[in-house]
Chain A
């Protein structure tokens, strides 16, 4: 029932830059609701990676950055490292559903 669409997978070699898109609509990302990003390592709970579109919580490396434009958002990982291999989810608020919505999730593979 995800209303935010992400690519199922992205991959890159160590040191490369990868981006993950998050496509929403006029009832969530479009009106300006904040987008947040989470990293989920295998077998663990998701961890907040980027909040309010482009802010990093304390302790998150600056290799991770976020942006939002129109009805979409993106997460970029520069200088890809083996430890970045995980699932990534975007999240926002949807006014039509009057609740939070998650993206479909993207698996990042480090080649």
Chain B
């Protein structure tokens, strides 16, 4: 069983569209994250949720809105997509002091 799974794996869309990426973890972890990896492989945290509550919200445009229906799920909705949003988005989870467990990523391409 995949510990942290995200869908879709690839997402190609046009500027101005709205899209969502879903993430689920079956590890029983309390905390989930969204990271963005740009074309230079630089990895930066976007959001962190602990037990469905937002605890980290880095400097991210408000077009990005995370939603956590329960502690096993953290979805990312993006409005009015822009070219600069093209990247690989990773979901991750952790519990207490455990290291991060990452999903396999969603490659978003905005044309």
Q: Do A and B bind each other?
A: no
